[in-house]
A and B are shown apart, each in its own frame.
Chain A
């Protein structure tokens, strides 16, 4: 098994003439929870979409467990779990139907997937709306469903784009605990968010993106130690609000 779970090299992506990602390079190791932060429009979601293979990057090389996620060889996609910003659910299906669909798409063993489904439904307290149509659910309930769909096949690589959106306290807590357990079991997690106090608590490492470029990539504890008030928020603010990105880039590497 490759030592690096997620490897991104020289990632550049353009929409038309406009480049939204500039030569991004980072890696996530097995057993690591890596935060991926940035202000709105920095390119976080675009990065995640290229990493899972939904977008073909203009330039660059991406490997998940040593395999290209965009290729027709499905090796990379078999180990990926992904929660997108948009949700990624068929609205007309019930929760149970959607989970069954995902289990079938991953060709999971039926008994094992039933057990796993029951565990996740209990964890996220979804019993009450398991047979309701997804378009009748609240935002938070849909997010729980999306998380279940990403976790049902026990992914080794998990990519989360704003996973706590709409979740209540208990669900958010359950998720944080689950992520820690998964990382302890060896999973690699890329956690994309701008809720910095959660990132500070959950993530081992943080990558900060600004204007399509990485301006910081270091363990969370080191980043926090550099700040005056010992919070990730002030580090983030300092790095992403200044005009002189180039001067500060690498200061926290």
Chain B
């Protein structure tokens, strides 16, 4: 398939194409941290790509296990195909720079005798291998476990992977086309923001289904699967699932043509983006930074009065500024906050966002869940701060990095992310509950929980300076899996306690005091590296 004659007929330079493809695959399989480690910790032997595949296999097997035996083949296929689309889109977009377009290409290849067609073909094929790997991870369990369903036959073994391939290629191509259309000016950043919001909307949809199941003590999933809403049947994945479940091929054939056309369009788009975006090289332009009023005020007062030393004030200002200005950092943070945002948007919409202080009702669960979800974002937010394009400048931070610097980072995260969110959320609660005491109490308790958890995890995640590592595929999640799981468990426990004590003012007050004392007694992390 990749013979020199074929490539030449396609207008691709064979030797440069193969060299670039070999290079891209090699870089995919290497982690970013090997060079820094001389005594490798076990985790650093594994490439970030492995973590991505591992996560997807885990999600896939869990979904299949939940559905197995409970739903018919059509719903089984629709669910798995939809999850494939969602995760494929996220994987491509959030790690776009590593997966599809690396700005380093311009510097390395741009002045070489390599045509845009050759470069873009190598990038597309490399992306295709990445899509194939992710697609396999998301397809493997539904294909094999689906064979065990009572209403599937041997044709499932062929039709489901076919449908999954259509979804994978179509979704990845769609993400690339979106980039090609919107990526001018800041390659990838606009697309990442769009994708982050798409994720939020998709998670809203998942929550909608999830709350239908949670609302009923039993049978929620089976009921939903047996009588899904009409819009489910309109999903592209549902059409494909029709064929998969019935042994048909019409929609599969149509899907193959459409996804093939999209892949070709993506190739053209990527090539065009190279010649247009790369040549304009917008990263070269000088950007004037005019700090907003809030930035100026905060940076000025914080450095001088809130912190005991200028060093801590400077760390606060640096963290706050990076959280405000670094588009990549913001894009990585958005998905972490998407779950909580989804719950906070969905709850009021479906009328299940009651005041926990008013009593133990199922309607009061979702506000607590919002907070639990916000707390679970803490490990990701702190871990994201360790990555930066300017990581080589970290030598400036190392000499005096310690507990106080870590505390300054925590304060900046509070100031830039959590406090504004809590305040906005508090206004929403006041509007819904018409109870200022309840809204204030909720906001205070939420802040105390966030602060306690942040202090606890900072010992692990802020022990070294922020902004010290180059960005790496999958590294936003893989290395903090244990911490994230622990935080999730702790947040759930605290949320459960909160739900129980909320209707009793004395207990609630005691809970708040306990949180405050616990937080104050935690020694902030930040041992010198």
Contact = CB atoms under 8 A, between A and B. Distances in A.
A106 B112 contact: yes
Interface string B102-122: 001011111111111000000
Contact of A107 (B15, B22, B108, B281): B15
A198 interface: no
Interface in A98-129: 100-102, 104-107
A26 interface: no
Interface string B277-295: 0111100111000000000
A97 B16 contact: no
B461 to A, nearest CB: 23
B286 A105 contact: no
Given A74-B113, A74-B115, A101 B107 contact: no
Contacts of A92: 26-27, 30, 32
Contact of B116 (A18, A72, A87): A72
B105 to A, nearest CB: 9
Interface string B4-28: 0000000001011011101100110
A19 interface: no
B35 A133 contact: yes
A16 B279 contact: no
B264 interface: no
A84 interface: yes
B34 interface: yes
A41 B108 CA distance: 23
Contact of B110 (A54, A90, A91, A107): A54
B110 A53 contact: yes
Interface in A168-215: none
Interface of A: 15-16, 18, 46, 49, 52-56, 69-70, 72, 74, 77-78, 80, 82, 84, 86-93, 97, 100-102, 104-107, 133, 135-136
Interface of B: 13, 15-16, 18-20, 22-23, 26-27, 30, 32, 34-36, 104, 106-116, 278-281, 284-286, 470
24 contacts: A15-B284, A49-B284, A53-B110, A53-B111, A54-B106, A54-B110, A54-B281, A55-B280, A55-B284, A69-B111, A77-B111, A77-B114, A80-B111, A82-B111, A90-B23, A90-B108, A91-B104, A92-B32, A93-B23, A93-B27, A105-B16, A105-B20, A105-B112, A133-B30
Q: 3 tightest CB-CB pairs across the interface, nearest first? A: A104-B19, A88-B107, A136-B35
Given A53-B110, A80-B111, 10 more contacts: A16-B285, A46-B284, A49-B281, A56-B279, A82-B111, A90-B108, A93-B27, A100-B19, A104-B15, A135-B32
